[in-house]
Structure 1
Amino acid sequence: MRNAWPLLLAAAIAPARAQTGTGLKGDYYEGTNFEKYVLTRRDATINFNWGQQPPAPRLPAEDFSVRWTGWLMPPTSGKYVFHVTVDDGIRLWLNDRLLLNEWRGQPQSSYTAAVELRAGEPYRLRVDYCQYGLDTRVFVTWEQPAATAASWRNLWGMTSEKARPEPISAAYLFQNNPKPVARPAASAAAAPAPKALPAASVAPPPAPRRAPRTATVVPRPRRPAAPEPRPAPAPTVPPPPAAVAAADSSRPARLANLAVGEAIILPDLYFDQGQARLLPAVRTALDGLAAALRARPALRFEVQGHTDNVGNAELNRQLSQQRAEAVCLYLTAHGVAEGQLRPVGYGGTQPVADNADPAQRPRNRRVALRRL
Structure 2
Amino acid sequence: MTSVHHRWLGRPLLLAKVLLLAWWLPGAPAWAQAPLPTGDGLKGDYYEGTNFEKFVLTRRDATINFNWGQQPPAPGLGAELFSVRWTGWLVPPTSGKYLFHVTVDDGIRLWLNDQLIMNEWRGQPLSNYTAAVELRADEPYRLRVDYCQYSMDTRVFITWEPPGPGAAQAPSSWRNLWGMTAETPRPAPIPTQFLFRQNPRPAVASEAAAVAPPKPLPKVPVAAKAIPVATPLVTKRPVRPAPPLRRPAAPPLAVAKPTALALPPAPKPGPLRADSAGAARLRQLAVGETVTLPELYFQQGKAHLLPASRTALNQLATILSTQPTLRLEVQGHTDNVGNAELNRQLSQQRAEAVCLYLTAHGVNTAQLRPLGYGGTQPVADNTDPAQRPRNRRVVLRRL
TMscore range, shorter length? 0.3 to 0.5
Bigger Cα Rg = 2
Q: Tell me the TM-score normalized by structure 2.
A: 0.40
Q: Tell me the TM-score normalized by structure 1.
A: 0.43
